[in-house]
Amino acid sequence: MISNMAVPDRPLLTLCRYNAPYWKAYLIGVLVGCVFQAVGLAMPIVFSALVDDFDNRVMTRALLWNYFYLLLIIAAVTAMARFSQRMFIGRASRKFEFDLRNDYFRHIQGLSQEFFNRTKTGDIMARATNDLNFVRDFIGAGTMGAVDLIRIPFSLAVLMYFSIQLTVTVMIVLPVASLFIYFLLKLTRKQAQRVQARFSAITSLAQENLSGARLVKAYDIADREVRAFNSESEVYAQENLKFVATKASIGPIMTIAFRLMLVLALWRGGLMVMRDESTLRIVFEDGWLAIRSAPFELGDLMGFITCLLMVSASLLGSALVAIMYQQGAAGMNRISEIMSETPAVSDSGQSDSMVTALRGGIEFKDVQFAYPDSPAVLRNISWKCEPGQTVAIVGPTGSGKSTLMALLTRKFDPSSGVVLLDGVDAREVPLKTLRTSIGLVPQDTFLFSDSIRANLTLGKPEATDDEIMEACRIAQFDETLSGMAEGLDTLLGERGINLSGGQQQRLTIARALIHDPAILLLDDALSSVDTHTEEQILTRLREVMATRTSVIISHRVSTVRGADRILVLRDGEIAERGTHEDLLAHRGLYSEMYDRQLLEDELEDA
C-alpha cells in the first residue's frame, strides 16, 4: 500500500503511481482481454463460411453440427476470457480505491486547523465518496473498455479481408460523427465538474443540518432548512440533468452513424452480390499482407455485417470510456486539490533528533498572531511558566484566550515571536511528542459515537479500570457513570448527544487526566457545570495540578483564583498579571471582573 505520498497537480501521474503495485493484475487482465477480442473476431469468418456453405448447397447435418460446436466453443472461450478480465482488473481497481481512500483520509488527518477553517466537511466527504467512485469506475470499467478498443483495428483488418471497397464506403460516416462526439465530450467534462461541485455543496448543507439537528428543532426552523435544501437540490438536479442530456446525446449520434454504416453496407454489398462483382481483399500470402481480387459472395456480405456490428459495439464502448474518463479526470482533479494541500504546521527537519518528552516548561516571547486576512489577535505576548506551576488566563470574550491555547498545542504557529517548551522552540518539538505530552480539555467538547470507555481512553487505550475510575472520581463523572446500566460500556450517541453539557465536560476532563500529560490545558472546561460542582472538581484537580504544569482559561474568577500566576488579556495584549491577591489590590480589569461575578452570584442566590 502507498502511504504518505505527496500528490502533485498531475492526476494521471498520480493514478499511475497508485496503480503501479498492481501492474501484474492489469497486465494479465489486458492479455486475457486480447484473447477475448481475438477469439471473438473469429465469429464473422465462421458466419461467412456457414452462409457460403448454405448458398453453395454443400451444407450437411454433420457439417452444421460442426459449425454449432465451433460457435459454442468461441462463445465459451470469450465468456471465460471476459470473466477473467473482470476479475483481475476489477479486483486491482478495488485495491487501488482502498489505497487512495486510506491515503486521502490519512492526509486529511495530518492537515492543520487552518485547512479545516476554510474547507467544509461535506466537501471533504464528497471527494472521498462520489469523486473517488468516479475515479475507480474509470480505472476498472474504463480499463476494460479501453482494452476492448483493441478490437477496432483488428476488426477493420477483418472488414478489409472481406472487401476493401465496402470498408471505405461505410467508414465515410465516421469523421463527421467523431467531430460531433469530440465537442460533446468537452462539454461532458465541464458539466461533470459542475455536477461534482454541486454534489459537494449539497453534501455540506446536509452534513451541517444533521450536525445541528438540536439547534434546528430548538429554533423551529426545520421548514426553512428544508426549503434551503430543496433549493440546493434543485440546482444540483438541474446541473445533473444538463450532464445527463449531454452524455445521452453521444449514444444517439453513434447509433445514427452505425445505422447509416449498416444501411450503406447492405445497399452497396447487396449490389455487389447481385452483380457478381469482384472486390479487393487484404490477405496473408507466404507470411506477408497482400491485396488480391476475388468474387464478393453472400457469405462475405454476412461476415462483413457481423464484423461491422462488432466494430459498432467497440466504437460505442469507446464513447462510454471517454465519458468515464471525463468523470474520472474531474474527480481525480478534485481529490488532487486536497491531496496537494500541505499542513501549515508540521515537523521541522530537526524534529527527529530533538525533544522526546516534555517536562512542562512554557515560555512565550514577543508572540504575535493574526488569522489570514484579519487584524492581529495577539500582540506582544510574553510570559513564562516553570514545570509544575499553574497559570490562569482570563479576559473578556474575544481577547485572544483560546487563540493563545491554540498556539500552545500548535494548531497554529505564531506570526512572529516564539513559543518555547522546556526552552526549545515548539516548532522543533516533534508534533507527536508535543501532543502526547499535552492533555487538552477544549471549550467545545467532542465525543465519538462509541462507548464511554473508548472515549475516556482515547489518549491511553491500555488504561486500567482503576485508572479510569480514579480520573472519573476527580472529574465528578463517577456519579453519572454509576447511574448507567452498562457503565463504561454504555454507547454514546453522535457527539455524546445522550449526555448533558456538564456531563460531557466532566467526561473530557477525565479523559485528559487518564492521558496523564505533562501539561494540562483547561479551556473554559467548567463553563457547563454549576458553581458547587465546579468547586468540588477544582478541589480534587489541585492534587493533580500540583504534579504537572497547568494552564487554565476561564470566564469565572472563582476558577482561577488559586493559580500561581494570572494573566489578564484585553484586546490581544496582557493588560495585567500577578496572583489573585495582587490583582485585586491593583483595582484594575481583574478586580472589576471579580466584583461583577460576586454580584452575579449574589443575584443568582437571591
Distances (CA, A) of 158 to 161, 305, 307: 5, 11, 7
Q: Is residue 4 pLDDT above 50, yes or no?
A: no
Average pLDDT, the chain: 82
**Percent above pLDDT 90 for the chain:** 2
Share of the chain above pLDDT 70, in %: 93
pLDDT for the residue 364: 92
Q: Is 342 helix (H, G, I), strand (E, B) or coil?
A: coil
User: What pLDDT is recorded for position 505?
Assistant: 84
Given this model, what pLDDT does residue 351 score? 46
Helix, coil or strand: residue 504: helix
Q: Is residue 541 over pLDDT 70?
A: yes
Classify residue 285 as exposed, middle or buried by CB count within 10 Å of its CB (0-12, 13-18, 19+).
exposed
Cβ proximity of 125 and 210 under 8 Å: no
Q: Which residues pair with 552 in a beta bridge?
A: 392, 522
Cell of 501: 453539557
Mean pLDDT of 382-406: 87
Highest mean pLDDT among 138-152, 550-564, 569-583: 569-583
Average pLDDT of the residues in 201-229: 76
Could you tell me the CA-to-CA distances from 198 to 126, 184, 203, 240, 318 in Å, in that order?
10, 21, 9, 9, 27
What is the mean predicted confidence (pLDDT) over 45-66? Answer: 79
Q: Tens digits of per-residue pLDDT, 301-355?
A: 888 888 888 877 777 777 777 778 877 887 888 888 888 888 777 776 554 446 6
Query: When comparing pLDDT for 494 and 132, which is higher?
Result: 132
Residue 10 reports pLDDT greater than 70: no
**Average pLDDT score over residue span 203-217:** 74
In the structure, what pLDDT confidence band is assigned to residue 368 with cuts at 50, 70 and 90? very high
Query: Is pLDDT above 50 for 85?
Result: yes
Q: How far is CA 144 from CA 28, 141, 420, 495, 593, in A?
A: 12, 5, 57, 44, 72
pLDDT the model gives residue 258: 83
pLDDT digits (tens, 9 = 90+) for 249-308: 877 888 888 888 888 888 988 888 888 888 888 777 666 777 888 888 888 888 888 888
pLDDT score of 2 more than 50 = no
Q: Is the pLDDT of residue 358 over 50?
A: yes
Domains, the chain, with CATH or none: 11-189+250-339 (1.20.1560.10), 348-437+554-606 (3.40.50.300)
